[in-house]
Amino acid sequence: MLLHIGIDDTDSPNGMCTTYLGALLYRELSRFGEPVDLPRLIRLNPNIPYKTRGNGAVALTFDILDEYVDDVKNIVVEHVEKLAEVDHENTNPGVAFLEGEVPEILRKFSLKALREHVTIDEAEDVAKKSGAEIVKFKLGRGIIGALASIGYPLENYTYELLAYRRLENREKERKVNRDSVFDMDRRFYPFTYDNVDPFKKTILITPHGKDPVLVGIRGIDKGKVMLAYESVIIEEDVKMVQLFKTNQSTDDHLQWKKIKDIRLYDNVIVRGKVASKYWEKGRHVFFEIEDETGKMRVAAFEPTKKFRNYVRKLLPGDEVIVAGGVKEHEGVLTINLEKFYPVKLVPKREYRKPRCPRCGGTMKSKGDYLKCKRCGYKMPKVLIPVEKPRDLEKKIYEVPPDARKHLSRPLVLPGAEDKFLY
């Protein structure tokens, strides 16, 4: 029979990573049955506050003889008990098991967990209705991600290869040869992407926390992802390497919405008009967007760096499509920009004074009339409109790689414009 296993919320900032547990179990459980496909790394709503890092859950599916099912379930629960960071106050692991085909109700729940906020009660209800078994540790919030990862349709996907270090090295700096990562990027970009930040000259494949991940290489071609990994020089012991199929870089989280329907923690794509000139506070850049149903604040926060310059170029009246996650900032619902597309730009006009019609001299403003500095000629103040270039192209603008959400599709990948088709 088909046995689906979902796991979530096993880590804390002090260590562990749900993918590590998934990779261990993928090996261990392959002794009992045939894995159906690769393990799946499913990223869920990036805006919810309980996440440790990237709100990732892991699902595994095995074709297994009925007689082994109980053993397999026990092994999964034992692994979570043993390895999850349960002593950490915000770690609330959850495990889900589902036998047979995935019912529609679980698919729907999964997409809700991707795009909106859901409660533990909702997860328990959906488990009951879909015949899934759940195991909760402490609050057991992890059952949300565990169930959602099983139900995720994964029609669009990319790959991530994760190499893990020994747990005893977790306090140490990761020993990955920097030049070899730049060489790898030169050879394999864009089939593997977000390997380096070409402007800051930093490498992005190594995380910085105490988790067991040594490097993560993302790509759209699994062969190239594996070759890319082999070309990176790693100067410490690698405990395990696992390729995952994932919904990262798919834009699956974005949902078209009218402003009046937008709720806290949604992931939205909205078309409207810029309703205010931008303003800045604490290096964050803000403006307002409006459609026929309401008005909403939009932000390009400080970590989006140069992206903010493009936002500053928007003018009231411009028609734009904006995409991002909805969070509360200073008590106001705010779309945290991931990408935007200027659909139609209003002309940018500046007004200049005419030259003196009598002598060609420079005119000076005097209340509501102009006076020539050279000959003293006076005339009513009629200024000449001059059209200025807008300096914004008809293209999608995206935040830089290190500010990008896992789910956001980099523009370099095929189909990155698809979500913006209205």
Question: In angstroms, rounded to a whole number, what is the distance separating the alpha carbons of residues 190 and 320?
Answer: 28
18 scored as a contact of ligand ATP (CB under 6 A): yes
Sheet holding 369-372, edge to edge: 363-366, 369-372, 378-380
158 scored as a contact of ligand ATP (CB under 6 A): no
Q: How far is the CB of 116 from ligand ATP (least distance, A)?
A: 6
377 scored as a contact of ligand ATP (CB under 6 A): no
Residue 323 DSSP SS3 = strand
- Applying CB under 6 A, which part among 4-12, 188-196, 342-350, 386-394 lies near ligand ATP? 4-12
Q: How far is the CB of 414 from ligand ATP (least distance, A)?
A: 27
Residue 278 DSSP SS3 = coil
Smaller CB distance to ligand ATP: residue 17 or 326? 17
Question: In angstroms, rounded to a whole number, what is the distance separating the alpha carbons of residues 283 and 300?
Answer: 9
CB of 305 closer than 8 Å to CB of 295: no
Among the listed residues 3, 96, 118, 311, the single contact to ligand ATP using CB under 6 A: 118
Sign (positive/negative) of CA torsion 233, 236, 237, 238? negative
DSSP string, 1-50: -EEEEEEE---BTTB--HHHHHHHHHHHHTTTEEE-SS-EEEE--TT-TT
Residue window 64-103: x/- pattern of binding to ligand ATP, with contact defined by CB under 6 A? ----------------------------x-----------
Among the listed residues 56, 212, 342, 401, the single contact to ligand ATP using CB under 6 A: 56
φ, ψ of residue 298 to 5 degrees: the values are -125, 140
Q: How far is the CB of 338 from ligand ATP (least distance, A)?
A: 17
Residue reference for tokens 């004074």:
353
Smaller CB distance to ligand ATP: residue 115 or 271? 115
130 scored as a contact of ligand ATP (CB under 6 A): no
Smaller CB distance to ligand ATP: residue 117 or 305? 117
Among the listed residues 144, 203, 311, 399, the single contact to ligand ATP using CB under 6 A: 144
Question: In angstroms, rounded to a whole number, what is the distance separating the alpha carbons of residues 159 and 375?
Answer: 74
Q: Report how far apart the first and last C-alpha atoms of the chain are (Å, whole number).
A: 42
Question: In angstroms, rounded to a whole number, what is the distance separating the alpha carbons of residues 1 and 344?
Answer: 55
Among the listed residues 3, 8, 318, 321, the single contact to ligand ATP using CB under 6 A: 8
329 scored as a contact of ligand ATP (CB under 6 A): no
Smaller CB distance to ligand ATP: residue 43 or 273? 43
398 scored as a contact of ligand ATP (CB under 6 A): no
Smaller CB distance to ligand ATP: residue 44 or 370? 44
CB of 279 closer than 8 Å to CB of 286: yes
Sign (positive/negative) of CA torsion 365, 367, 369, 375? negative
Taking CB under 6 A as the criterion, which residues in 25-54 touch ligand ATP? 44-45, 48, 50-54
11 scored as a contact of ligand ATP (CB under 6 A): yes
Neighbours of 340 (CB within 10 A): 28
Among the listed residues 5, 17, 132, 196, the single contact to ligand ATP using CB under 6 A: 17
Among the listed residues 4, 141, 174, 271, the single contact to ligand ATP using CB under 6 A: 141
Torsion of CA 419, 205, 399, 50, to 10 degrees: 80
Binding residues for ligand ATP, rule: CB under 6 A, are 8-11, 17-18, 44-45, 48, 50-57, 92, 113, 117-118, 141-142, 144-145
